[in-house]
Structures are given as structure tokens and as C-alpha cells.
Amino acid sequence: MESKIYIIDGDPIAWARAAPSKYSRMWDTQKQIKFEHGISLRKQHKGNGLFEGPILLDIIFYFKKPKSCVRKQGSFHIYKPDLSNLIKLIEDIGSGILYKDDAIIACIRAQKKYDAQPRTEFRIVSLEEEVCNENEEKKPKGRRKRREKTIEEIRCL
């Protein structure tokens, strides 16, 4: 399984709808943000090929803890922006840079947490489709599958 971790520094930003101009044309309000984050992802991807086939997207959005907040570091962020809108922006930015189209994302795991350093960390994992590989030997029953490590576990290694 191919896997790669990416980090976008700064406050996590939620996806915003396209807005009409005064001439009734639609324009992307986040074009500059997507461009800047795209450059960062291109540098981290280092010219590797695009991910193909089904992929897993494992994302953790870290928000700066407000001074008035009594929650501990690492606890979950339960306020706006919505998790789904945060995910949409990451999907959009990665299209054409990390993968050809966000339609190949077969599985998403996402969290919003507090941390001293705001950032977005995500890992892309190529999923292997065992159903398509008829020549592969069947594994005996009772064997445990290996659990994938989370971004936090990998960082601790």
C-alpha cells in the first residue's frame, strides 16, 4: 500500500460556495487560497505520480485553542466550521495535484481537534481491491488484519 502524509500550515479553512459578481457571473471566492495551498502540496508531493485507484483520505484539522476555552490540548473542536466543508476544500485542492479527480476517494476519516499550532494534516493511502485480484491466495479465516496507523501514531515513531 502506497501512503503519503501532507501538512498545510495555518488555520483550517472551510470550502465556500462560488459567489455571483455584480454582472451575474459566478466566480470562485477561494481561488487564491486554493492556489497557495496547491503550491505547498506540489512541493510536498515532490513530482511523484498521481494516486490512482481507490484511496483513503485520513484528515486531522487542528484549530488553535482560544484563551477562554477550558478544553484540554488534543480535545475535539465542536464548533464551526463544519467538518464536511473542511473536507471539501481538501478534496478540491488535491484534485489534479495528488490525484486526477476526487471521485477516486473511497473512504474518508476526519477529525477536528485543538492544538497550539493550527494546521491540517492528512494522509492518502492507496487501497488495494482484493475483489479484483482473483489470482491472490485466499487468507485463512481467523487471522487478524493489520490495523492502519493513524497520523498521530506515525508522528510518535
| pLDDT tens-digit readout, 33-55 | 777 877 888 888 887 888 988 99
Q: Residue 73: which pLDDT band, with cuts at 50, 70 and 90?
A: low
Confidence at residue 5, expressed as pLDDT on a 0 to 100 scale: 92
Q: Which of 92, 90, 108 lies closest to 54 in space, CA to CA?
A: 108
pTM, rounded to two decimals: 0.70
Task: Spell out the residues 6+ positions from residue 10 whose beta carbon is closer than 8 angstroms to its own.
Answer: 118, 119
Lowest mean pLDDT across 44-48, 56-60, 64-68, 128-132: 128-132
Answer whether 146's CB lies under 8 Å from 153's CB: no
Q: Span 3-16+28-129+147-156: which CATH code?
A: 3.30.1330.70
CA geometry: angle at 150 spanning 45 and 103, to 5°?
55
Task: Spell out the residues 6+ positions from residue 77 whose beta carbon is closer than 8 angstroms to its own.
Answer: 61, 63, 112, 113, 114
